[in-house]
Amino acid sequence: MAHLTVDLPAGQDGVSRNALPYLHGHEAGAVARVLATGHYTHGPESELFEREVAAFLGVPDVVAVASGTAALHIALLAAGIGPGDEVVVPSFTFCASIQAILACGAAPRFADINPATLCATADDLLEAVTPATRAVMPVLYGGRAVDLAGITPELASRGITAVEDAAHAFGSRCHDRQVGSTGALTCFSFDPIKNLSCGEGGALVPRDPAEAERARRIRDLGITQSRAERSAAIGYTVEAFGLRAHLPAVNAAIGRAQLACFPAVAGRRTQLWRAYREALAGIDGVTLTDVNIDRTVPFNCVVRIDRGRDEAFTRLRDQGIGVAVHYPPNHTQPAFAAWHRPLPRTELAAAQVLSLPFHPALGPQDAGRVAGLLREALR
């Protein structure tokens, strides 16, 4: 299978980057084909991408949007979340999760996490619920599914919507079902380094046709008519608040090319994670995050280091190894200080986590090399 990657600076190799876009070689032709049609923005290509993603997930409908953050924002709006509402969300996530909540006029209510998985469990989310809570937002960190079955009746009885932040989790499963097909309002990201990329983009999986219609109307500036209908009519009708957040046809073409080759890239990610697991075994004070690899297409490879994380980070960086820290907890960020609450497990994990280089261009030998350098860095 042909593949292309972005060029690295002279003297660097794959492990110098923590994450890297991965292309199969078909994307350029797909983009050229779309450019030749003259339909660069939302149109037939974007709709084909929606249908193909829906078929992959085994769901009736998917709404493609401009980014994963836009997917979260639109999903919350489509679920009726607004000012005065509260959304329970783990602090241990990328800040986009929180910004999407604030964009609706709602407030985040931070939840703690399970240190073994770096995800908030169903019980963690339920513990953080208050009378103002209108939604919970499990974050599928690293691609690992969060099983909400045990609290679904309780959430329903309180009128609380589950909005999954599955930015890391395209292709993963919860039990025997694809993430996105378990009944939650699920949001994916398709940015350059995700399991599936559109160059930039995202999607949400609505729970019913009415929610799909609301999401599309919000995405398309609140305009009632489709683009095809507008092209054949005089004027159009705006019935509600909306955003310009469609997925352009060029990005949809990249996504369709990627989706056709997804099993191969999923296999490479899984193989690399297993190679890391073997190479890291026996390093004192280092614990690999549990992603449930039999059901997960892993997005990253994260270890917890009992002591000396910062020193190991510096030493590995000095040797040109692309380690990173994902993520600084949001409840300690200045912009979100108004919603701070003590989260001891999150704070401990944030002081220990280290993301190792992880992308499909790497192989088992790279995992062994990085693990060996980590062992030396901790001495």
Domain map of the chain by residue range?
23-260, 263-377
Q: What mean pLDDT do residues 108-129 have?
A: 98
Could you give the percent of the chain with pLDDT greater than 70? 97
Quick check: 5 pLDDT over 90? no
Q: How far apart are CA 335 and CA 272, in angstroms?
A: 36
Q: 49 and 64 in contact (C-beta within 8 Å)?
A: yes
Q: How far apart are CA 217 and CA 70, in angstroms?
A: 13
Is it true that 23-260 and 263-377 share their CATH fold?
no
In the prediction, which pLDDT does 303 show? Answer: 98
- Each residue's pLDDT tens digit, 283-301: 999 999 999 999 999 999 9
Q: How far apart are CA 50 and CA 61, in angstroms?
A: 7
The domain defined by 23-260 folds into Aspartate Aminotransferase; domain 2 (3.40.640)
1 pLDDT tier (thresholds 50, 70, 90): very low
Please name the helix (run of DSSP H) or strand (run of DSSP E) that holds residue 312, with its range, or none.
Answer: helix 309-318
In the prediction, which pLDDT does 44 show? Answer: 92
The domain defined by 263-377 folds into Aspartate Aminotransferase, domain 1 (3.90.1150)
- Each residue's pLDDT tens digit, 164-181: 999 999 999 999 999 999
Q: What mean pLDDT do residues 186-195 have?
A: 98
Q: Which amino acid is at 230?
A: R
Bridge partners of 139, per DSSP, are 165
Angle at 33 between CA 28 and CA 38, to 5 degrees: 125
133-136 vs 86-90, strand pairing mode: parallel
Quick check: 228 pLDDT over 80? no
Q: How far apart are CA 85 and CA 235, in angstroms?
A: 36
Largest pairwise CA distance in the chain: 73
* Ramachandran angles phi, psi of 291, nearest 5°: -105, 0
